Amino acid sequence: MSAFEEGTILVTGGAGFIGSAIVWELNRRGHDNIVISDRLGTDEKWKNLTGLRYMDFVDADVLLEAVEASEDCLGYVSTIFHLGACSATTETDADFLISNNYEYTKAMALWSQSIDARFVYASSAATYGDGSQGMSDTDDDLSKLRPLNMYGYSKHLFDVWAQQQGILDDLVGLKYFNVYGPNENHKEDMRSLVNKAYTQIVDTGRVGLFKSYLPDYNDGEQMRDFLYVKDAVKMSLHLAENPEAGGLFNVGSGTASTWIKLVEGIFAALGKEPQIEFIDMPEAMRDKYQYYTCADTSKLAASGYDGGVTPLADAVKDYVVEYLMPGKLLDCAGA
Protein backbone atom coordinates (compact mmCIF):
# COMPACT_ATOMS: atom_id res chain seq x y z
CA MET A 1 0.00 0.00 0.00
CA SER A 2 1.28 3.47 -0.88
CA ALA A 3 2.22 5.71 2.02
CA PHE A 4 -0.12 8.31 0.52
CA GLU A 5 -3.14 6.12 1.25
CA GLU A 6 -2.62 6.57 4.99
CA GLY A 7 -4.19 9.65 6.55
CA THR A 8 -4.45 13.12 5.06
CA ILE A 9 -1.83 14.63 2.76
CA LEU A 10 -1.33 18.34 3.50
CA VAL A 11 0.16 20.44 0.70
CA THR A 12 1.08 24.00 1.65
CA GLY A 13 1.59 26.28 -1.32
CA GLY A 14 -0.78 23.88 -3.06
CA ALA A 15 -2.07 26.50 -5.46
CA GLY A 16 1.45 27.42 -6.48
CA PHE A 17 3.65 26.12 -9.25
CA ILE A 18 5.21 22.95 -7.82
CA GLY A 19 2.50 22.52 -5.19
CA SER A 20 -0.31 22.26 -7.73
CA ALA A 21 1.81 19.88 -9.81
CA ILE A 22 2.28 17.67 -6.73
CA VAL A 23 -1.50 17.56 -6.22
CA TRP A 24 -2.01 16.88 -9.94
CA GLU A 25 0.30 13.87 -9.83
CA LEU A 26 -1.24 12.56 -6.59
CA ASN A 27 -4.64 12.78 -8.27
CA ARG A 28 -3.27 11.01 -11.32
CA ARG A 29 -2.16 8.18 -9.03
CA GLY A 30 -5.64 7.95 -7.53
CA HIS A 31 -5.18 9.99 -4.33
CA ASP A 32 -7.56 12.77 -3.32
CA ASN A 33 -7.18 12.58 0.48
CA ILE A 34 -5.55 16.00 0.25
CA VAL A 35 -5.89 19.32 2.06
CA ILE A 36 -4.44 22.33 0.27
CA SER A 37 -3.22 25.42 2.09
CA ASP A 38 -2.14 28.67 0.45
CA ARG A 39 -2.65 32.41 0.22
CA LEU A 40 -4.60 33.07 -2.97
CA GLY A 41 -4.31 36.85 -2.92
CA THR A 42 -5.51 38.89 -5.88
CA ASP A 43 -3.66 37.22 -8.75
CA GLU A 44 -4.95 34.28 -10.76
CA LYS A 45 -3.10 31.54 -8.87
CA TRP A 46 -6.50 30.09 -7.98
CA LYS A 47 -6.76 28.85 -11.57
CA ASN A 48 -4.10 26.25 -10.77
CA LEU A 49 -6.65 24.56 -8.49
CA THR A 50 -9.25 24.00 -11.20
CA GLY A 51 -9.42 20.36 -12.22
CA LEU A 52 -7.71 19.16 -9.04
CA ARG A 53 -9.38 16.87 -6.52
CA TYR A 54 -8.91 17.57 -2.81
CA MET A 55 -10.92 17.44 0.42
CA ASP A 56 -10.49 20.97 1.74
CA PHE A 57 -8.71 24.30 1.39
CA VAL A 58 -7.26 26.15 4.39
CA ASP A 59 -5.86 29.67 4.27
CA ALA A 60 -2.15 29.70 5.13
CA ASP A 61 -2.56 32.14 8.02
CA VAL A 62 -5.44 30.13 9.47
CA LEU A 63 -3.32 26.99 9.26
CA LEU A 64 -0.41 28.65 11.06
CA GLU A 65 -2.67 29.84 13.86
CA ALA A 66 -4.03 26.32 14.32
CA VAL A 67 -0.54 24.80 14.26
CA GLU A 68 0.81 27.27 16.81
CA ALA A 69 -2.22 26.64 19.04
CA SER A 70 -1.78 22.86 18.62
CA GLU A 71 -5.38 22.61 17.41
CA ASP A 72 -6.47 19.38 15.74
CA CYS A 73 -8.07 20.98 12.71
CA LEU A 74 -7.20 18.44 10.02
CA GLY A 75 -7.57 15.07 11.68
CA TYR A 76 -4.86 12.49 11.08
CA VAL A 77 -2.19 14.02 8.82
CA SER A 78 0.36 11.47 7.63
CA THR A 79 2.35 13.50 5.08
CA ILE A 80 3.10 17.20 4.79
CA PHE A 81 4.50 18.75 1.63
CA HIS A 82 5.55 22.20 2.81
CA LEU A 83 6.02 24.11 -0.45
CA GLY A 84 4.49 27.42 0.58
CA ALA A 85 7.02 30.27 0.49
CA CYS A 86 7.92 33.51 -1.21
CA SER A 87 10.15 32.30 -4.05
CA ALA A 88 11.10 35.69 -5.49
CA THR A 89 14.89 35.88 -5.71
CA THR A 90 14.54 39.65 -6.08
CA GLU A 91 12.55 40.13 -2.85
CA THR A 92 14.39 42.62 -0.59
CA ASP A 93 12.08 42.64 2.43
CA ALA A 94 14.24 40.54 4.72
CA ASP A 95 11.79 40.68 7.63
CA PHE A 96 9.03 39.28 5.43
CA LEU A 97 11.24 36.46 4.14
CA ILE A 98 12.37 35.53 7.66
CA SER A 99 8.75 35.40 8.84
CA ASN A 100 7.23 33.71 5.78
CA ASN A 101 9.99 31.34 4.69
CA TYR A 102 11.94 30.63 7.88
CA GLU A 103 9.68 31.02 10.92
CA TYR A 104 6.66 29.50 9.18
CA THR A 105 8.70 26.47 8.12
CA LYS A 106 10.05 26.04 11.65
CA ALA A 107 6.50 26.00 13.03
CA MET A 108 5.36 23.45 10.46
CA ALA A 109 8.39 21.22 11.04
CA LEU A 110 7.93 21.18 14.81
CA TRP A 111 4.23 20.44 14.35
CA SER A 112 5.03 17.56 12.01
CA GLN A 113 7.32 16.12 14.68
CA SER A 114 4.59 16.41 17.32
CA ILE A 115 2.05 14.52 15.19
CA ASP A 116 4.57 12.06 13.70
CA ALA A 117 3.90 13.13 10.11
CA ARG A 118 6.33 12.79 7.21
CA PHE A 119 7.66 16.32 6.52
CA VAL A 120 8.90 17.13 3.02
CA TYR A 121 9.83 20.76 2.43
CA ALA A 122 11.17 22.95 -0.34
CA SER A 123 14.70 24.13 0.15
CA SER A 124 16.49 25.58 -2.89
CA ALA A 125 19.64 25.39 -4.99
CA ALA A 126 19.88 29.13 -4.26
CA THR A 127 21.36 28.09 -0.90
CA TYR A 128 24.57 27.14 -2.76
CA GLY A 129 25.29 30.70 -3.85
CA ASP A 130 27.91 30.98 -6.58
CA GLY A 131 28.84 27.31 -6.23
CA SER A 132 32.37 28.01 -5.01
CA GLN A 133 31.69 25.76 -2.00
CA GLY A 134 30.28 23.02 -4.18
CA MET A 135 26.72 21.88 -4.76
CA SER A 136 26.75 18.59 -2.92
CA ASP A 137 23.78 17.49 -0.83
CA THR A 138 26.04 15.10 1.10
CA ASP A 139 28.23 17.81 2.65
CA ASP A 140 27.25 18.26 6.31
CA ASP A 141 29.08 21.59 6.67
CA LEU A 142 26.14 23.81 5.74
CA SER A 143 27.69 26.81 7.49
CA LYS A 144 30.17 27.35 4.67
CA LEU A 145 27.45 28.07 2.09
CA ARG A 146 26.99 31.71 1.05
CA PRO A 147 23.64 32.38 -0.68
CA LEU A 148 23.67 35.35 -3.05
CA ASN A 149 20.20 36.70 -2.25
CA MET A 150 17.86 36.97 0.71
CA TYR A 151 15.52 34.32 -0.67
CA GLY A 152 18.34 31.78 -0.75
CA TYR A 153 19.43 32.84 2.72
CA SER A 154 15.91 32.36 4.15
CA LYS A 155 15.95 28.78 2.84
CA HIS A 156 19.50 28.21 4.06
CA LEU A 157 18.60 29.40 7.55
CA PHE A 158 16.01 26.66 7.96
CA ASP A 159 18.34 23.94 6.66
CA VAL A 160 20.95 25.01 9.22
CA TRP A 161 18.38 25.31 12.03
CA ALA A 162 17.00 21.82 11.36
CA GLN A 163 20.51 20.40 11.40
CA GLN A 164 21.33 22.18 14.67
CA GLN A 165 18.13 20.83 16.21
CA GLY A 166 19.10 17.31 15.21
CA ILE A 167 15.95 16.79 13.13
CA LEU A 168 17.20 17.34 9.57
CA ASP A 169 17.61 13.62 8.89
CA ASP A 170 14.02 13.06 10.04
CA LEU A 171 12.83 15.46 7.34
CA VAL A 172 13.28 15.63 3.58
CA GLY A 173 14.59 18.93 2.22
CA LEU A 174 14.25 19.34 -1.54
CA LYS A 175 16.93 21.53 -3.07
CA TYR A 176 15.10 22.39 -6.27
CA PHE A 177 17.22 23.65 -9.14
CA ASN A 178 15.77 25.55 -12.14
CA VAL A 179 12.29 24.02 -12.37
CA TYR A 180 10.01 25.04 -15.24
CA GLY A 181 6.68 23.93 -16.61
CA PRO A 182 2.91 24.51 -16.57
CA ASN A 183 1.09 26.39 -13.78
CA GLU A 184 3.75 29.08 -13.32
CA ASN A 185 1.93 31.97 -15.03
CA HIS A 186 1.05 33.60 -11.68
CA LYS A 187 4.75 33.99 -10.81
CA GLU A 188 5.05 37.01 -13.11
CA ASP A 189 8.75 38.08 -13.16
CA MET A 190 9.74 34.83 -11.43
CA ARG A 191 8.37 32.70 -14.28
CA SER A 192 10.89 30.45 -16.01
CA LEU A 193 12.64 31.70 -19.12
CA VAL A 194 10.72 29.12 -21.17
CA ASN A 195 7.47 30.79 -20.19
CA LYS A 196 8.73 34.34 -20.73
CA ALA A 197 10.67 33.57 -23.91
CA TYR A 198 7.67 31.84 -25.50
CA THR A 199 5.70 35.09 -25.23
CA GLN A 200 8.62 37.13 -26.59
CA ILE A 201 9.06 34.82 -29.56
CA VAL A 202 5.35 34.74 -30.40
CA ASP A 203 5.10 38.54 -30.13
CA THR A 204 8.40 39.61 -31.75
CA GLY A 205 10.05 36.55 -33.31
CA ARG A 206 13.08 37.13 -31.10
CA VAL A 207 14.24 36.50 -27.55
CA GLY A 208 16.57 38.50 -25.31
CA LEU A 209 19.17 36.83 -23.10
CA PHE A 210 21.36 38.51 -20.50
CA LYS A 211 24.92 39.38 -21.44
CA SER A 212 27.68 37.77 -19.42
CA TYR A 213 29.75 39.89 -17.06
CA LEU A 214 32.31 37.18 -16.29
CA PRO A 215 35.12 36.44 -18.78
CA ASP A 216 34.73 32.68 -18.25
CA TYR A 217 31.27 32.74 -19.86
CA ASN A 218 30.25 34.06 -23.27
CA ASP A 219 26.92 35.83 -23.64
CA GLY A 220 24.08 33.35 -23.27
CA GLU A 221 26.44 30.56 -22.24
CA GLN A 222 25.82 30.93 -18.54
CA MET A 223 24.74 27.46 -17.42
CA ARG A 224 21.91 26.16 -15.27
CA ASP A 225 20.47 22.81 -14.29
CA PHE A 226 17.00 22.94 -15.88
CA LEU A 227 14.40 20.45 -14.62
CA TYR A 228 10.89 19.88 -15.97
CA VAL A 229 8.28 20.15 -13.24
CA LYS A 230 6.88 16.70 -14.03
CA ASP A 231 10.30 15.20 -13.25
CA ALA A 232 10.64 17.35 -10.12
CA VAL A 233 7.31 16.00 -8.89
CA LYS A 234 8.28 12.36 -9.53
CA MET A 235 11.48 12.88 -7.56
CA SER A 236 9.65 14.63 -4.72
CA LEU A 237 7.02 11.91 -4.37
CA HIS A 238 9.65 9.19 -4.47
CA LEU A 239 11.50 10.76 -1.55
CA ALA A 240 8.28 11.34 0.38
CA GLU A 241 7.32 7.67 0.05
CA ASN A 242 10.77 6.31 0.89
CA PRO A 243 10.99 6.01 4.70
CA GLU A 244 14.77 5.57 4.50
CA ALA A 245 15.26 8.93 2.77
CA GLY A 246 16.19 11.80 5.06
CA GLY A 247 18.07 15.08 4.98
CA LEU A 248 18.77 17.30 2.00
CA PHE A 249 18.43 16.11 -1.58
CA ASN A 250 19.33 17.88 -4.79
CA VAL A 251 16.35 17.82 -7.15
CA GLY A 252 17.70 18.53 -10.60
CA SER A 253 18.52 16.95 -13.95
CA GLY A 254 22.20 16.44 -13.15
CA THR A 255 23.13 18.28 -16.36
CA ALA A 256 24.07 21.93 -16.88
CA SER A 257 22.82 23.53 -20.10
CA THR A 258 23.25 27.01 -21.53
CA TRP A 259 20.46 29.55 -21.84
CA ILE A 260 21.07 29.45 -25.58
CA LYS A 261 20.37 25.72 -25.71
CA LEU A 262 17.21 26.23 -23.67
CA VAL A 263 15.73 28.86 -25.98
CA GLU A 264 16.77 26.95 -29.09
CA GLY A 265 14.39 24.25 -27.83
CA ILE A 266 11.56 26.79 -27.74
CA PHE A 267 12.23 27.96 -31.29
CA ALA A 268 12.39 24.32 -32.44
CA ALA A 269 9.05 23.55 -30.77
CA LEU A 270 7.53 26.50 -32.63
CA GLY A 271 9.16 25.53 -35.94
CA LYS A 272 11.17 28.76 -36.09
CA GLU A 273 14.82 29.60 -36.65
CA PRO A 274 16.53 30.97 -33.50
CA GLN A 275 16.73 34.76 -33.30
CA ILE A 276 18.61 35.75 -30.12
CA GLU A 277 19.80 39.14 -28.94
CA PHE A 278 21.86 39.83 -25.84
CA ILE A 279 20.66 42.49 -23.44
CA ASP A 280 22.13 44.24 -20.41
CA MET A 281 21.59 42.60 -17.06
CA PRO A 282 20.15 45.01 -14.45
CA GLU A 283 22.98 46.28 -12.25
CA ALA A 284 21.14 45.18 -9.10
CA MET A 285 21.38 41.55 -10.28
CA ARG A 286 24.99 41.45 -11.41
CA ASP A 287 26.61 40.57 -8.08
CA LYS A 288 23.80 38.13 -7.15
CA TYR A 289 23.65 36.16 -10.38
CA GLN A 290 24.42 32.42 -10.49
CA TYR A 291 26.52 31.70 -13.59
CA TYR A 292 26.58 27.93 -13.11
CA THR A 293 24.39 25.40 -11.35
CA CYS A 294 24.41 21.64 -11.71
CA ALA A 295 22.83 19.16 -9.32
CA ASP A 296 24.84 16.23 -8.07
CA THR A 297 21.99 13.71 -8.02
CA SER A 298 23.97 10.71 -6.77
CA LYS A 299 22.24 10.83 -3.37
CA LEU A 300 18.85 10.83 -5.08
CA ALA A 301 19.90 7.84 -7.19
CA ALA A 302 21.22 6.05 -4.08
CA SER A 303 17.76 6.46 -2.52
CA GLY A 304 16.39 4.22 -5.26
CA TYR A 305 15.03 6.83 -7.67
CA ASP A 306 15.01 5.38 -11.18
CA GLY A 307 12.39 7.53 -12.85
CA GLY A 308 14.88 9.16 -15.18
CA VAL A 309 14.87 12.73 -16.47
CA THR A 310 13.11 14.04 -19.57
CA PRO A 311 15.72 15.34 -22.06
CA LEU A 312 15.73 19.13 -22.21
CA ALA A 313 14.50 19.45 -25.80
CA ASP A 314 11.68 16.96 -25.21
CA ALA A 315 10.59 18.64 -21.98
CA VAL A 316 10.61 22.11 -23.53
CA LYS A 317 8.59 20.82 -26.50
CA ASP A 318 6.02 19.22 -24.18
CA TYR A 319 5.65 22.45 -22.21
CA VAL A 320 5.37 24.67 -25.28
CA VAL A 321 3.13 22.46 -27.44
CA GLU A 322 0.91 20.90 -24.79
CA TYR A 323 0.51 23.84 -22.38
CA LEU A 324 1.77 27.23 -23.55
CA MET A 325 0.36 27.14 -27.07
CA PRO A 326 -3.18 26.13 -26.03
CA GLY A 327 -2.83 28.00 -22.73
CA LYS A 328 -3.83 24.96 -20.69
CA LEU A 329 -3.40 24.20 -17.00
CA LEU A 330 -2.13 20.95 -15.57
CA ASP A 331 -5.51 19.23 -15.59
CA CYS A 332 -5.48 15.89 -13.80
CA ALA A 333 -8.75 14.95 -15.46
CA GLY A 334 -7.22 15.21 -18.90
CA ALA A 335 -3.80 13.76 -18.12
Q: Give the model confidence (pLDDT) of 23-62 as tens digits.
A: 999 999 999 999 999 999 888 899 999 999 999 999 999 9
Write down the pTM of the prediction. Answer: 0.94
- Within 8 A by CB and 6+ apart from 190, the residues are 87, 88, 89, 90
Catalytic residue among 102, 121, 128, 151: 151
pLDDT recorded at residue 1: 62
What is the reported pLDDT for 137? 96
| Per-residue pLDDT at 335 | 47
Q: What is the pLDDT of residue 333?
A: 53
Active site annotation includes 187: yes
From first to last of the 335 residues of the chain, give the pLDDT tens digit.
688 888 999 999 999 999 999 999 999 999 999 999 999 988 889 999 999 999 999 999 999 999 988 877 788 999 999 999 988 888 889 999 999 999 999 999 999 999 999 999 999 999 999 888 889 999 999 999 999 999 999 999 999 999 999 999 999 999 999 999 999 988 888 899 999 999 999 999 999 999 999 999 999 999 999 999 999 999 999 999 999 999 999 999 999 999 999 999 999 999 999 999 999 999 988 988 999 999 999 999 999 999 999 999 999 999 999 999 987 778 765 44
pLDDT of residue 131: 86
Known catalytic membership, residue 299: no
Domains in the chain with CATH codes: 3-181+226-252+294-310+329-334 (3.40.50.720)
pLDDT at residue 332 in the model: 66
Q: Could you say which of 187, 211, 261, 288 is catalytic?
A: 187
